[in-house]
Structures are given as structure tokens and as C-alpha cells.
Structure 1
Amino acid sequence: MQMWLSVIGIGEDGIAGLSQIARSLLDRAEVIIGGDRHLAMLPKDDWREKLAWSSPLEATIDEILRRRGQTVCVLASGDPMCHGVGVTLTRRIPISEMMIIPAPSAFSLACARLGWSLAEIETFSLTNRSVSTIATALAPNARLLILSANKTTPNHVAELLNQRGFGRSKITVLEHLGGTQERHIDGTANTWGIQDLSDLNTLAIVCRSDPGTVPLSRTVGLPDDAYHHDGQLTKREVRSITLSTLAPLPGELLWDVGAGCGSIAIEWLRSHPRCRAIAIERHPTRLQYIADNASDLGVPHLKIVAGEAPAALQALPQPDAIFIGGGVTADRLLDLCWSALCPGGRLVVNAVTIESEQIVLHYHRLYGGDLIRVGIQRAEAIGAFLGWKPLIPVTQWKAVKPLTD
């Protein structure tokens, strides 16, 4: 189909700042879509059909699709493909049917103002995400750029930095980048109290840890005390082995069945921003632990399913990997998990009881794979001396589903 949709990035300099190509696409459009701020930039005597974005966004995209065949122009802030509406539109409309003309993103403009290398910083958008999303990036001297949801975002970020032991971090709020009202406000998290801010702002953070703060690594094997739990926790050493066996790759989906406090799913998500995970747990208290841990450890997007396997697994999307840390003795659980797993996917089971070991051995005979026994001993005090205290041994089975069954 001929291109009928244009997506034009527009900056604080408005229509006057558009390139000739962008201006030509806007001028010939029969329908114009944008935020209220964008539509207000058009001449008052422009009588063409206009649509403002609604909530949910998908409703307006449906309206755009109904106008397929007309010439439609979407106005977006900055670069539409940088945490912008262009990404959403390409999920519904082939790129062959649209022309995307970006303006400089807020991140590019912020780097230009601060002298930062965009390739050496981490970027986040909090326009529709929890502020705890940035927790994974907190490390001494790390530099972060954050698209704010509104004028309250800097206060929420400062509060989180203080809570996580990064109160000395430098905060710069950059308002209306690229426009005549551009303004920069500097401060530190532990003294931040600025309220007079614009809704349109970008945050620049230089992370500085407080004395005594021990930042959490992004590698697997977080300390056990990083989690809220009631004892149903895959211990640090076993967790490290389990995650390396699961071998997460960007974009892959994990089912964490019998998730306990959610440690396996959480560290799977922390391994890469594009990893996805679903934690399945039936115990109400542990469900709350999972939610709290996911938020505290920077992965609030973890999907949590309340219910008992295998019934709770029926309608879930197909996983690339499955971990079963509890409930392996449930009737036909392993049959359902093996059937649900995508070709080439990994199934990893940790067994600690004789009954669960027997089931694992049965399925190992059916599907093959690798069996290992993990025994960990920790040094603990025995009176005035040290002695070795063994943890419960874990039998681990890993099987890879053939590409063709």
C-alpha cells in the first residue's frame, strides 16, 4: 500500500522548526493527530480534521486505522522512535505504509547541554512506568537520563535515591529543551525540595552513593537479605547456578512456577531490560513478597499470577524457559510445562525432597537432559570456632525441548 501515514517529530520550536519535508507532509495531510500541545501549534484557521490522543492510546490508533487511505499526519514530541508513539504505531501498521521524520530527542538535547556521551549513559522513560524502574541502574558514577511523567517526577526520583543510599546524587532538571523557555535547575537528592517545575522536563542524574552503601550488582546471585521472604527462597549460591542454567537471552519469557518470593524471575529480568517473566504463586503472603521484591529491585513490570499450577498456567503466553522450584509433585505439572515450552526452550527443575527427586528421575528418563547435585556449605560459628553448616542438597534437572518433537 502507498504511504498514507506520516509521523513527524516536533520540538519546542514548533512548526517553524520543521524541515521542508516534514512541513510538506503536514501541509498535505487531510487528518492531523497529536497531543493538545501539538495541535495548539497549528494556525487557528486550520480547519482540517484533528484528533487529540485519548486514553487508552489504542482507541486513537483504531481511529487512525479507520482513516487508512486518507493522508494522515501524527505529530509527536522529539524523536517518535525514542520512547515515543512511533514505536506503538509500528506494532499495528507496517513501516512500508508510513514515513517517520524525527526531531532531536530529549536525550540528544540533554547530552548536548551537559556534554555527555549518549552511548555511555542509561536512559529511562517514566511516562507510564514506576519510578522504581531506575533502581537497576544505581551505581557509583553512573549517569542516567530520565523522561519525566510530569513535574512531580523529580521529587519521586529524589525520594528513591535517598531510600537506596544515593542521596548525594546530583540532579539536573532540564525543562522545555530546545525552546525559548528552556531552563536548567541543579540540586542533590538529599536536599531536593523544588516544586516550581514544568510538566515537560527531562532528568539528568549523576549517581553518588552515601557512605556505607553497598550497591547491588546486576549479575545473578543477589544477597539473600536483598529479598523479603518467609524462608521460601532459592539461596544465593543455588540461585546463581539456576540462572546460569536457565541462560536468559534478551526478549525471552520465563515462567517461574511456584515462585516463592520471586527471586528467580526477578534476577532473570535484571539480566536484560528486554527480558520478560511471569511469577506463578498461590500463597497470598508470598504474592505480596514477590510484588515488593520486584519493586525494590527495579523490575516492577514482573507479571504476577495468583493461582496453583498447573491450572494457573493454562492461558499464559508460550515461554522460552520454565523454572520449577516448588510444587513439582503436582499431578501432570511437568507434562503441561513440557507441552507449553517453545521448541528449543529450557526446562529447569530444582528438587529437594525424595518424592520430587523421583519425579525428576522419571522425566529425565523420558526427555533426557542434564542432572546435577548441588551441595553448599557455609562457615558458621561453633562456639569460639568456625564450622561448616551444610544447606539442603538440591538435585537440578535441565532439559532442552527439541526443535521438532
Structure 2
Amino acid sequence: MAEVSPWLTLVGLGEDGPDGLSAASRAALAEAEVVIGPPRHLSLVPDAGAERIEWPVPFADGLTVLDGLRGRRVVALVSGDPFWFGAGRAIAARYEPGEWCALPVPSTFSLAASRLGWSLEDTLCLGLHAAPLERVRPHLAPDRRAIVLLRDGDAVRDLARYLTGVGFGASTLHILEALGGPRERITPARADALPEETFAHPVAVALAVVGEGRVVPVTNGLADEFFESDGQITKRPVRALALSALAPRPGELLWDIGGGSGSISVEWCLSHPSLRAICIEPRADRAARIGRNAATYGLDRLSVVEGAAPEALDGLDAPGAVFVGGGLTEALLADLENRLSPGTRLVAHSVTLETEALLTGAASRLGGTLMRVEISEAAPLGPKRGWKASYPVVQWQVVL
């Protein structure tokens, strides 16, 4: 295969403009035929005679512009380190390794840590400039630290209101504006006492969590109160057993058939940031509720398909695991056997005798393990207490 030489150079830019650039970055700018970047970045770099193009909005449109520039010497101006919540991932996914190279400068995360004396290995780093603020929710616990990138100055106030609303208003925010440049400013404030002033883009917030808000546990089997539900929910102990049987692995996709409240899918996604889930739910009200439960934790990796299986499964990405919380039929099982790739893990639950018979027959034919779970909880019984039993649940777990 012929060797490919880079035509595209990603030049990381700090707020000090060209003053902080390496010799390699300066040379790339001097030799460029085209310089493309956001208006703010272009304003930081002196005009050396190259054609200058403003990166369009939305971001994806700029990738199409780059396609048309192949064969010319192109410099794309990016913020800091393009592979720290930056443009690097999209570029690397679109072009062959030999077509591009990257010349980063210190990221906002590195600059923030150096200003505050925080060790990055102990600090959560999140890019929320194009993601929901709720993504921080699972990480909120006393004494935790996080550095988050935000879309603009208004988002600082949005973040402060959000933290206050979930019980962490006592948290200290360090509002970091234009780090590394002449406009650099660091403003400390409590989330629930943010000063009435304007914060300028580019902006990040370093967050030291304090408060009495409810902490989301890091183990599977969250309390049912963590989810909005109409009663159609896999209860906490059974959910923990289901997730253990599903055995999430990094990078996998789950099909949650008959999602109900979406609690299985939510906890699947919370297990690891690379996990995705698709909930298939025939009822519109429950599909909407699943969406709200996902939004509570900023899980845009969880999507909802409103419809009934197996028809609603057509066209979906292949899963690593499938959960059927109820309503498994012979027709659906036959479809899954034909549709799913070998090695897919299937976990199905039953609370009815009819579905239990189906699971028993399927286990005899396809193998796997069967488990019957009976759970009782203490409840008032007259002036005293007694055990109140839930319906037994039969779980079938198999690798197809």
C-alpha cells in the first residue's frame, strides 16, 4: 500500500494564541494553504496569507468542508489537546492515520489542575459543552472533585442551579475563564450563592462537592426510589440479580425488551461509560418515562424504541446481551434465536406459570441455568410484623 502523507494538521491552541505554540505548530501554520477553525481561534492567529475558513455550526458540517480540502495543506485550529473531549476523535474516525497529525498544547483540564493544585488522576474530567449537565449526577458525592467543560458563561449558572436542586448547593465552584490567556480569571463561589456577574466563554468549572444530596451508589441494585415508575419496575434485589447475570462488558450494547421503567437499562449504562442500551417498550407513556429516567442521569447512551418486539427489533445494532423482563413468548424466543449472533447473552424473567414452562422447555433445549428467587420483606401484621412474600421470579440465563 502506498504511503500516505499528512495533509491535515490539528494545531492545538491556547488562549495565549501563537505565543504558546511549539516550533512544529508554527511551521505548520507558516506552510498552510488553508487554516480552518472557529472564529475565536482564527482571531488568535495572525494572517499569514493562507485561505481562512470559519468552521461551520453544527460541528459535523465542518467535516464535510474538510473532505473538500483533501490534497491541500490544511491546518485545523482546535482547543488545547484535541483528544481531550475535542475534535480529535471525529477526525481520527473519519481519516486514515497517515492523513493527519496532531500537535496539542496543554488542555483546559491540565491548566485547571495546575492552577488549583488538584491531581488529575484523582479528579473526574467531563466535557459538558455538548452534553447534558445531568451527566455529572452519578458522580456527586461529598469530597469528590470534578473539572467540567461548559458551552458558555450561562451554563455556569445552569450548573449551579442544578447542583443546588439535587442537594449539593454547598459545593465550591471555581469558575475558570480563558485559562492560559490575558483574560484568565478564576472566581470561587458556592453553587447556591453564585455572584450576579457574567462569565465569559471559554469557561470551565472545577467542582469540589459538598452537600447532603442523595448519593448514587456505585453498585448494581439501586433503590427503587431512584427511578420514576408506575409500578412496572424490576425491583431492586431482582434487578441486581439480573444485572449480575447480564454481566456487562465494556463497549457492549443491551437490548432491554419490555423496558417498563428502564431501570435495567439505566443501571447497565451506569456500570461503565462505554455501555449503551436500547429499551423496546410498546406503551407510549412508559416509553416516555424511560426517557425521563435516562435523562435524570444524563444517559444519552440509552435510547428508547416505542414498539413491540420482535417487529421493533428490525434495524437495531446487534447487542452483546438481551434482557426480557416479562412477556417472553415462543414466537419472540424463536425470533431471538434466529436474529442474535452466537455468543449473545440472554436473560429472561418470568412470574407466571405459563412463561415459567416456556423457560423450562427452552433451558432443556438450549442449555443455560435456571434460578427461582423468592423474596420476603418484613411488613406490619396486626400490632407486630411478619414476612410478606413477593411473587417468585424464575430467571433463565443462557449464552446462545
Give the TM-score normalised by structure 2. 0.96
Q: What secondary structure does 1:124 align onto? A: strand
- Correspondences of 1:15-164 after superposition (within 5 Å): 15-44=18-47, 46-164=48-166
Q: What secondary structure does 1:152 align onto? A: helix
Give the TM-score normalised by structure 1. 0.95
Q: What secondary structure does 1:279 align onto? A: strand
1-side partners of 2:372 and 2:231: how far apart?
A: 21
Paired residue type of 1:246: L
- Correspondences of 1:6-405 after superposition (within 5 Å): 6-44=9-47, 46-210=48-212, 213-329=213-329, 332-401=331-400
Task: Tell whether the 8 Å contact from 1:140 to 1:207 is kept in structure 2 after alignment.
Answer: yes
How many residues are paired up?
A: 397
Cα deviation, residue 31, structure 1 = 1.6
In structure 2, do the counterparts of structure 1 residues 249 and 194 end up closer, same or farther at CA, with 3 Å as the change threshold?
farther
- 1:194-241 deviation per Cα after TM superposition (whole angstroms, max 9, x unaligned): 34110211101111122xx43120211111111111111000000000
Percent pairwise identity: 40
2-side partners of 1:340 and 1:27: how far apart?
A: 55
2-side partners of 1:286 and 1:219: how far apart?
A: 25
Task: Tell whether the 8 Å contact from 1:132 to 1:300 is kept in structure 2 after alignment.
Answer: no
Q: What secondary structure does 1:387 align onto? A: strand
Task: Tell whether the 8 Å contact from 2:135 to 2:298 is kept in structure 1 after alignment.
Answer: yes
Paired residue type of 2:140: L
2-side partners of 1:219 and 1:142: how far apart?
A: 17
Q: What secondary structure does 2:370 align onto? A: strand
2-side partners of 1:119 and 1:155: how far apart?
A: 27
Cα deviation, residue 248, structure 1 = 0.8
Cα deviation, residue 396, structure 1 = 0.6
Q: What secondary structure does 2:266 align onto? A: helix
Task: Tell whether the 8 Å contact from 1:161 to 1:167 is kept in structure 2 after alignment.
Answer: yes
Cα deviation, residue 300, structure 1 = 4.0
1-side partners of 2:351 and 2:239: how far apart?
A: 14
Paired residue type of 2:234: T
In structure 2, do the counterparts of structure 1 residues 121 and 90 end up closer, same or farther at CA, with 3 Å as the change threshold?
same
Task: Tell whether the 8 Å contact from 1:167 to 1:208 is kept in structure 2 after alignment.
Answer: yes
Cα deviation, residue 193, structure 1 = 4.6
Q: What secondary structure does 1:365 align onto? A: helix
1-side partners of 2:381 and 2:298: how far apart?
A: 38
Paired residue type of 2:355: S
In structure 2, do the counterparts of structure 1 residues 300 and 3 end up closer, same or farther at CA, with 3 Å as the change threshold?
closer
Cα deviation, residue 299, structure 1 = 2.1
Task: Tell whether the 8 Å contact from 2:248 to 2:268 is kept in structure 1 after alignment.
Answer: yes
Q: What secondary structure does 1:16 align onto? A: helix
Deviates more, 1:93-102 or 1:234-243: 93-102
Unpaired segments of 5 or more residues in structure 1? none
Paired residue type of 2:347: V
1-side partners of 2:284 and 2:191: how far apart?
A: 35
Task: Tell whether the 8 Å contact from 2:8 to 2:74 is kept in structure 1 after alignment.
Answer: yes
Q: What secondary structure does 2:91 align onto? A: helix
- 1:329-369 deviation per Cα after TM superposition (whole angstroms, max 9, x unaligned): 2x621223333434322111011111211222232233211
Cα deviation, residue 68, structure 1 = 2.0
- 1:261-309 deviation per Cα after TM superposition (whole angstroms, max 9, x unaligned): 0000000000111111111111121112112211223424411111111
Q: What secondary structure does 2:94 align onto? A: coil
- 1:364-402 deviation per Cα after TM superposition (whole angstroms, max 9, x unaligned): 23321111111111111112211111111111111112x
Unpaired segments of 5 or more residues in structure 2? none
How well do the aligned residues superpose, as a CA RMSD in angstroms?
A: 1.4
Deviates more, 1:102-111 or 1:279-288: 279-288
Cα deviation, residue 55, structure 1 = 2.6
Task: Tell whether the 8 Å contact from 2:265 to 2:279 is kept in structure 1 after alignment.
Answer: yes
